[in-house]
Amino acid sequence: MNKEDNRIRIGRINYTNVWPIYYYFADLVPREQVEIIHQVPTGLNKAMAAGEIDMGPISSFAYGESFENYLLYPDLSVSAFGAVNSILLFHEKPLQEIAGGEIALPTTSATSVNLLKIILEKFYKGKPRYTYAPPILSDMMNKRDGALLIGDDAIKESWRNKKYMITDLGQEWAKWTGKWMSFAVWAIRRAVVDQQPELVKGIFDAFVQSKHMAHADPSAMIKEAKSSVGGSSEYWQHYFSNLCYDFGVEQWKGLQLYYQYCWELGFLPKQATVEIWQQNRIARVTE
Ligand SMILES: C=C(O[C@@H]1C=C(C(=O)O)C=C[C@H]1O)C(=O)O
């Protein structure tokens, strides 16, 4: 809660990928009760862990790090089965040849950097050296074999790119596992669920309604994405309809496998369990 005015503090990833869930949201909740904080995923992950925000999308990896403190909303995520179009590795040589090389990772991401490590280390049996860098492709590729970008940074470079091979990590994950991948999940601090159950429910309903409204008629959202980020209407039509904003059994199964691999490879200290908020009941997801 914001100490001065008691508003609930809600994160928002400042990439286009979350637009459907927010596009109508502000009109559906009492404005005096919510404050929206825009940041890149790693910023939101840290703010949630520090108690500076109360709920919102975080990297699914960050949920795996702090799952004891959070519950997840059902029906809300940024997921894909196969290509995501905005989680992209740029590289000069085929993956087999760079799996032991130098890779630049963006400071904006937590889920996708660990997903890339799983792909290169577990699936391609490599052991690359990683360096973290701000998401600027030309700098990242300086003396490196590959660079990962996420969100709008990845989208814009995919439009400009004439130089590199591009690997979509969602596609790689589906190829090796046959599973869904959820990149962002909607977390709520457990204490907030206890303190503000009605508001937690109202906010959930508003997010879900925004998602349905944006899906039913995406034209205004597509027009705005085109004017503020660039690209064509066809691009955004495909981008939004290709991403999945639901969070159900298929997405949970994919995420459980991701957490298992993160644990096996030592990226997470414990195997995370997915616990879902259900109108004040808690459901633990098991396969
Ligand atoms: C689909 C995307 O997923 C994002 C990737 C994240 C990560 O790698 O930590 C976190 C949140 C998501 O917004 C994207 O960035 O385009």
CATH number for the domain spanning 242: value is: 3.40.190.10
Q: Is the ipTM of this complex over 0.90?
A: yes
Please tell me the pTM assigned to this model. Answer: 0.96
Average pLDDT, the chain: 95
| One-character DSSP codes across 179-220 | --EEEEEEEEEHHHHHH-HHHHHHHHHHHHHHHHHHHH--HH
In a domain, 1, yes or no: no
Do the bridges between strand 165-168 and strand 34-39 make them parallel or antiparallel, or are there none, so unpaired?
unpaired
Q: Which domain holds residue 124?
A: 87-177
209 shares its domain with 161? no
Q: With a 6 A CB cut-off, is 112 part of the ligand 1 pocket?
A: yes
Query: Bridge partners of 275?
Result: 284
186 shares its domain with 173? no
Ligand 1 center–CA 151 separation, angstroms = 6
Q: pLDDT tens digits for 150-206?
A: 999 999 999 999 999 999 999 999 999 999 999 999 999 999 999 989 999 999 999
Q: With a 6 A CB cut-off, is 186 part of the ligand 1 pocket?
A: no
230 shares its domain with 267? yes
From atom 3 of ligand 1, which residue's Cα is the shortest distance away?
183
pLDDT of residue 6: 75
From atom 13 of ligand 1, which residue's Cα is the shortest distance away?
184
Q: With a 6 A CB cut-off, is 110 part of the ligand 1 pocket?
A: yes
Question: In whole angstroms, what is the distance from residue 285 CA to residue 287 CA?
Answer: 7
Q: In what order do the strands lie in the sheet with 70-80?
A: 34-39, 8-13, 55-59, 181-189, 70-80, 275-278, 281-284
| CA neighbor of 27 nearest in space, from 266, 213, 285 | 213
Q: With a 6 A CB cut-off, is 87 part of the ligand 1 pocket?
A: yes
Q: 262-269, long-range: CB within 8 Å, 24+ apart, which pairs?
A: 262/61, 262/64, 262/114, 262/118, 264/122, 265/117, 265/118, 265/121, 265/122, 267/61, 267/114, 267/117, 268/61, 268/64, 268/65
Strand, helix or coil at 238?
A: helix
Q: pLDDT tens digits for 115-161?
A: 999 999 999 999 999 999 999 999 999 999 999 999 999 999 999 99
Pick from 145, 177, 209: which residue ends a domain? Answer: 177
